[in-house]
Structure 1
Amino acid sequence: MKTYLIAQDLWGVIEGMEETPDQEKNNVAFNAWSKKNSMALHVIQISCGPNLFSVIIREISLAKIAWNTLAKKYTMLKTTYSGTDNNRNDSYVEYEDLYKAVRGGDWNAAKEFLERRPDALNAKITTLGKMALHIAVVAGQERIGEKLVERMSREDLEILDNFGDTALNEAAVRGEYRLVKCMLRKNESLVSIGSSTQTIPLVKAISYGQIETARCLYSVTPLEDLMPEKDHNGATLLSNAIYTRNLDIALHLVKRCPRLALSLGKDGNSTLLALASTPNAFPSGNPLVFWKQGIYNYCIKHLYEMKLIHIQSKELLHRMCEGLSNLTIQQWQESFLNDTIIRAIKNGIFEIVYGMLKADPELEWTTDQKSRRIFSIVVLHHEDGNGMLHMAGMFTDSNMLNHISGAALQMQRELQWFKEIESIVHPKAKEAINKDGMTPRQLFTKTHKNLRKEGEQWMKDATTSCTVVGALIITIMFAATFTIPGGNKQNTGLPMFLNRKWFTLFILSDALSLFSSTTLVLMFLGILTSRYAEDDFLVTLPRKMIIGFSTLFFSIATMMIAFCAALSIMLNGQYWIVILIICLASVPVTLFIVSQFRLLLEIAISTYRANIFNKKMKPLF
């Protein structure tokens, strides 16, 4: 088991190398640690027999404590076994040849043994109470497993090992799809026989990520085994289906049994909370660049899966929220609705917040542990005497900023957020003082000091590089004006090819490139010499960046046009060469646009959109 835990990167929580993070200080780290602890504890629990589990570790919630408790008990158990039954292991020696044959994949030897000892077919041939079929499943010997199933009766397949597992349970955990189907053909009732933890094969399969096997088991598992009144299996299945992105299973299950939407799984959490913990299942958790968003809207093949998940998530959310308004006070408390809506806010899943509020407007009064209401939590996630505007002015490491390119645009987004909140609070709140004697704007300046410096450095680095490029273009285009292709006439000094269309194109593109590159240098110099005040990041600096980048694109494009026009004049009549040169000249322009146009568009959208709040949603009331 230790080797397995190490391989799954779970040994740290057992050994104590990964200490429990402070949830208040680092909620992300705490959630990651909790997930590892739950996975390690689950492995330990399912590996214990029913007696060990119920007597020793049933109430233990930390994997480290469960492991240490079992370690202390092990010596006593070992002594008890060796003292009461010295021949315990010897009783299994007679099955050693069958064990080796099954595990080694030698069906002929196994068949010969079973013909001599037919009773060995359903006998427990190891100290762990495993039958030959159990061994075949564990060893991955599908062919031998199928042969054994053919010889076994329906009742034989229901025999449990010392851990309370049927061979089907073993096959479900290991994803032995063919053996699962083979066993079910002989005895479909196996799907209802759980392990020592009362977990049916379907739930075990999806918990271990064996999706194909889980789908097979789901198609034959009776709905009665998944009802919330019976046990935790239905809710646990629904939670795992959400976490593993098998939302078609989750949606189908909720349609069959709507009560599961607010039931608690084995881990004690509600299924709706599981949905609130998967931001990537909703469009708001998958912000796309403009061109991908366009493709997404038309459901192109390579984005089909993502869009399908979004559609299924929305329908699943709708069905899970249908019964919220009819809950009793006790059901309301047991369904973790407060935790769910707060988790959705923290993860930025506005669809869940909107859906829950629409289903039950009373959730508007939800508060967290610090008695902050929903809107205050929204503001904080974008306390000692801090008002709403103070909270908006505080800088927090938000997941939403990770999708914004560059510290300067992140600073702009923070300013936009602060300005939007400032526009809706009472005017008195703008000058309110917190316990440190700071107004909201002073608090904003203090907490965003580092981000402002990072934004300043980001802009200086970008503009310095672009200024160098612009200066080179100015030099080239200015020189090209006085070294025109073909030279000048001796008697008049006019260009030799003055009357040609290509020459007109050359002069116009050269002039345009020169003027636009001069403009971009001036714009970027304006950025370099800016004072970089906070409000400059809102419009002034981004606008200069937009003008600078736009003129840079234009100057490079017109420079290449001038180059192609000049060559066309000199290579008069050699059209195939001209066409080839034009194609080659378009390559650097295209590469530059592809690499930098996204940033330009991002700056433009961020600067000139209507406001930061999403206005697509209709009012709730």
Structure 2
Amino acid sequence: MTTFSFKTYGATSSAAFSTAVVPQAILLHGKDNYEEWKVRVKTYLLSQDLWQDVQQTDEPLPGRGLENFMALHVIQNSCGQVPFSKINTIMNAREAWKTLAESYGGQQRAIEQDSDEEIRRKATRLTQAIYTETLDTALGLIESCPRSALTRDKSGESPILALASMRHFFQSGNQLGFWKQLIYSWLSVPSVSPTGDIHWNVSNIGDQECQSNQEDQNNRSVIKQLLKMKKIHDQSDKLLDQMREDISKSTHQKLKDGQVYTAITRAAKNGIFEFVSKMLIKKDGEKDERFLYTNDRNQRNIFMLAVLHRHEKIFSILYELNGQMKDKLTSIKDVYGNNMLHMAGMIEDSTWVSKIPGAALQMQRELQWFKEVERIVHPKDKASTNNDGLTPQQLFTKNHADLMEKGQKWMKVTATSCTVVGALIVTMMFAVAFTVPGGNDQTTGFPIFLKKKLFVLFIICDALSLFSSSTSILMFLGILTSSYAEDDFLEYLPRQMIIGLSTLFCSIATMMIAFSAALIIMLHEQYSWILIPIISLACVPVIIFLLIQFPLLKIMIFSTYGSGIFHRKKKM
């Protein structure tokens, strides 16, 4: 057995090796000699067939437990006092090497080169972790091997492309209602157990004494779902940031081989605003022109895809570009000769417009898209024809003929039903005005209860109900007699419907108030006990009408007179 000595801080230590000679004077002291130490120790480990034990993944390779400790022994004995203190509790050669690299190697990776097969294997695991929603595992894999993000797995798909396929991994891919969105913004992601299960403290959300209550259980279930959703969103953002680090240093060919361009177009098609916006911004805040002009196989850029699939957040990125760049992007044509305005004239099955209630409102949203795109494209593009010889306007009319017909039918059916209700109210309120409760004085002809305050309320509500129902009838008649031109769906028809439904609701409400006032006038002296239940029942029709029609009315008002879906001052 041969003995070799290593120089230490004023002392000498011995290390016994039964095989090859270890290089002299290679003690690691710090960052100043780390690079030299790394080269020499790596060469020695290679000569002893121990380097593969440093390149292992997590646990010692099967059947090489002894070799793992031999490699660890070499690393430990080549460290000075301070570096050794960082790894003296580590029993894994790879972890020891990685710890020293992170401490003294700066941005250098712990393992210089993984084999192509090893990277492919890690890319396969990373892709599987993304599709199985085990994002904790995915984050660990991307941190250990950043190159795997742009490496195709065994099925030919890269992890970055897999992430772009998971719409629900990002906040823009989930449509939450008002209350759920409010709760979502209030929640913070809790700690995660080693198994990946979410644990949260019920006392932070509600009283623990209410656990037996079914409603409370349902509320907690909703909050758990929102917590899990937010956790996935946060992890996806971190995963994308990790991938973006490697992408920023990659060449065009590497980006192409890693399917980065395909991933961006897929994210644009899926409406993942977070993915697209992060890919378009460099570290210095400038736009990355490499990705601005990314096209799919049909030569459609990300903004054309955003218009085609009606993703307003991605489309709104255009407002932040300078005029020359915007003109260039909006004038591009696909392989079929369609420009961006042609995209607004098409209808895709995957478009989110189909989630809007009512064919008339869907038609309105389609017109809003067409008008907005028409506003920003070059004037010559408005008259440009595609390979079929159709201008954008002609293509819009052709593709929306069926939707326009459905919208016309929806408007007529709704207007007809509401007209019948309004006519009944007008008839009743007109008759009641001349058959007031209590009758008239035979001498003067004035109502007997004329001086009572409730009678004045009765007359006012009767008149308001009559006038508002008459107005609603006129609005609905305007809808029934409309020419139903395309532009009518943009503002005219929705405005008529908004006024008609609003005045109809007012007529029903005031009719119920007039009815209640008349009952109180006639029965308050002898049958006062029956007034409260009757008046309570009188509120039921008003509440039912409100519950049925208010959601539609709210959507129609915001869609017609709201700030709009396009964020013209949006910052990426």
Q: Structure 2 length normalisation: TM-score?
A: 0.64
Paired residues of 2:150 and 2:255 also in contact (CA < 8 A): no
1:541 deviates by: 0.7
1:600 deviates by: 0.9
1:438 aligned partner, one-letter code: L
Residue of structure 2 equivalent to 1:344: 267
Q: For residues 483 and 425 of structure 1, do their structure 2 counterparts lie closer, same or farther at Cα, with a shift above 3 Å needed?
A: same
Measured in 2, the distance between the counterparts of 1:244 and 1:411 equals: 38
Measured in 2, the distance between the counterparts of 1:492 and 1:562 equals: 24
1:264 aligned partner, one-letter code: R
Measured in 1, the distance between the counterparts of 2:506 and 2:62 equals: 69
Measured in 1, the distance between the counterparts of 2:342 and 2:281 equals: 29
Paired residues of 1:228 and 1:259 also in contact (CA < 8 A): no
Residue of structure 2 equivalent to 1:590: 543
Residue of structure 1 equivalent to 2:297: 369
1:291 deviates by: 5.2
**Counterpart of 1:482 in 2: which secondary structure?**
coil
Q: For residues 502 and 332 of structure 1, do their structure 2 counterparts lie closer, same or farther at Cα, with a shift above 3 Å needed?
A: same
Residue of structure 2 equivalent to 1:527: 479
Measured in 2, the distance between the counterparts of 1:252 and 1:517 equals: 66
Measured in 2, the distance between the counterparts of 1:251 and 1:469 equals: 60
Residue of structure 1 equivalent to 2:560: 607
1:356 and 2:279 aligned = yes
1:518 deviates by: 1.0
1:582 deviates by: 3.0
1:251 deviates by: 4.4
Select which of 443, 457, 469 maps to 2:395: 443
Measured in 2, the distance between the counterparts of 1:406 and 1:474 equals: 28
1:306 aligned partner, one-letter code: M
Per-residue Cα deviation, 1:451-504 (whole angstroms, up to 9, x for no partner): 111111111111111111211222222222222222222222222222222222
Write the mapping of 1:485-524 to structure 2, written as runs, cut at 5 A: 485-524=437-476
1:571 deviates by: 2.4
**Counterpart of 2:262 in 1: which secondary structure?**
helix
Measured in 2, the distance between the counterparts of 1:512 and 1:367 equals: 60
Identity of aligned residues (%): 56
Measured in 2, the distance between the counterparts of 1:531 and 1:192 equals: 79
**Counterpart of 1:377 in 2: which secondary structure?**
helix
Write the mapping of 1:553-564 to structure 2, written as runs, cut at 5 A: 553-564=505-516
Q: How many residues align?
A: 404
Measured in 2, the distance between the counterparts of 1:590 and 1:321 equals: 52
Paired residues of 1:417 and 1:612 also in contact (CA < 8 A): no
Paired residues of 2:119 and 2:151 also in contact (CA < 8 A): no
Q: For residues 252 and 463 of structure 1, do their structure 2 counterparts lie closer, same or farther at Cα, with a shift above 3 Å needed?
A: farther
2:167 aligned partner, one-letter code: P
Paired residues of 2:124 and 2:154 also in contact (CA < 8 A): yes
Residue of structure 1 equivalent to 2:354: 402
Residue of structure 1 equivalent to 2:201: none
Residue of structure 1 equivalent to 2:199: none
Measured in 2, the distance between the counterparts of 1:430 and 1:591 equals: 47
Paired residues of 2:265 and 2:301 also in contact (CA < 8 A): no
Select which of 259, 269, 280 maps to 2:157: 269
1:326 and 2:278 aligned = no
Paired residues of 1:356 and 1:363 also in contact (CA < 8 A): yes
CA RMSD of aligned residues (A): 3.1
Write the mapping of 1:569-588 to structure 2, written as runs, cut at 5 A: 569-573=521-525, 576-588=529-541
2:152 aligned partner, one-letter code: L
1:434 and 2:386 aligned = yes
Q: For residues 329 and 433 of structure 1, do their structure 2 counterparts lie closer, same or farther at Cα, with a shift above 3 Å needed?
A: closer
**Counterpart of 1:323 in 2: which secondary structure?**
helix
**Counterpart of 2:445 in 1: which secondary structure?**
coil
Q: For residues 325 and 483 of structure 1, do their structure 2 counterparts lie closer, same or farther at Cα, with a shift above 3 Å needed?
A: same
1:295 deviates by: 4.9
Measured in 1, the distance between the counterparts of 2:463 and 2:180 equals: 36
Per-residue Cα deviation, 1:276-299 (whole angstroms, up to 9, x for no partner): 212223332223444554454445
1:424 deviates by: 0.9
Q: For residues 488 and 364 of structure 1, do their structure 2 counterparts lie closer, same or farther at Cα, with a shift above 3 Å needed?
A: same
Measured in 2, the distance between the counterparts of 1:387 and 1:465 equals: 42
1:479 and 2:431 aligned = yes
1:437 deviates by: 3.5
Select which of 377, 381, 388 maps to 1:425: 377
1:335 and 2:335 aligned = no
Per-residue Cα deviation, 1:249-286 (whole angstroms, up to 9, x for no partner): 54465456544444434433222222221222333222
1:539 deviates by: 0.7
Q: Which has the higher helix share?
A: 1
Paired residues of 1:420 and 1:612 also in contact (CA < 8 A): no
1:448 aligned partner, one-letter code: H
1:608 deviates by: 1.9
1:385 and 2:337 aligned = yes
1:363 deviates by: 1.0
Q: For residues 435 and 267 of structure 1, do their structure 2 counterparts lie closer, same or farther at Cα, with a shift above 3 Å needed?
A: closer
Q: For residues 334 and 437 of structure 1, do their structure 2 counterparts lie closer, same or farther at Cα, with a shift above 3 Å needed?
A: closer
Measured in 1, the distance between the counterparts of 2:528 and 2:154 equals: 75
Measured in 2, the distance between the counterparts of 1:609 and 1:365 equals: 32
Point out where structure 2 has 5 or more consecutive residues left out of the alignment.
Answer: 1-57, 64-93, 99-113, 188-218, 283-287, 311-334
Q: For residues 318 and 577 of structure 1, do their structure 2 counterparts lie closer, same or farther at Cα, with a shift above 3 Å needed?
A: farther
Residue of structure 2 equivalent to 1:281: 169
1:191 deviates by: 11
Measured in 2, the distance between the counterparts of 1:246 and 1:564 equals: 61
Q: For residues 319 and 601 of structure 1, do their structure 2 counterparts lie closer, same or farther at Cα, with a shift above 3 Å needed?
A: farther
Q: For residues 564 and 254 of structure 1, do their structure 2 counterparts lie closer, same or farther at Cα, with a shift above 3 Å needed?
A: farther
Paired residues of 2:458 and 2:514 also in contact (CA < 8 A): yes
1:593 deviates by: 1.3
Measured in 1, the distance between the counterparts of 2:458 and 2:434 equals: 12
Measured in 1, the distance between the counterparts of 2:142 and 2:531 equals: 65
Q: Highest relative contact order (Cα 8 Å, sep 6+), 1 or 2?
A: 2
Measured in 2, the distance between the counterparts of 1:409 and 1:192 equals: 64
Measured in 2, the distance between the counterparts of 1:556 and 1:389 equals: 45
Residue of structure 2 equivalent to 1:547: 499
Measured in 1, the distance between the counterparts of 2:299 and 2:344 equals: 17
Per-residue Cα deviation, 1:213-262 (whole angstroms, up to 9, x for no partner): xxxxxxxxx999xx996355544444344334444554465456544444
Paired residues of 1:285 and 1:349 also in contact (CA < 8 A): yes
Paired residues of 1:228 and 1:235 also in contact (CA < 8 A): no
Per-residue Cα deviation, 1:136-168 (whole angstroms, up to 9, x for no partner): xxxxxxxxxxxxxxxxxxxxxxxxxxxxxxxxx
1:437 aligned partner, one-letter code: G
Measured in 2, the distance between the counterparts of 1:291 and 1:250 equals: 31
Measured in 2, the distance between the counterparts of 1:548 and 1:190 equals: 76
1:416 and 2:368 aligned = yes
Measured in 1, the distance between the counterparts of 2:394 and 2:186 equals: 46
Hey, which bits of structure 1, 4+ residues long, moved more than 6 A? Answer: 188-193
1:354 deviates by: 0.9
Measured in 1, the distance between the counterparts of 2:184 and 2:451 equals: 50
2:438 aligned partner, one-letter code: G
Q: Structure 1 length normalisation: TM-score?
A: 0.59
**Counterpart of 1:479 in 2: which secondary structure?**
helix
Q: For residues 527 and 244 of structure 1, do their structure 2 counterparts lie closer, same or farther at Cα, with a shift above 3 Å needed?
A: farther
1:305 deviates by: 3.7
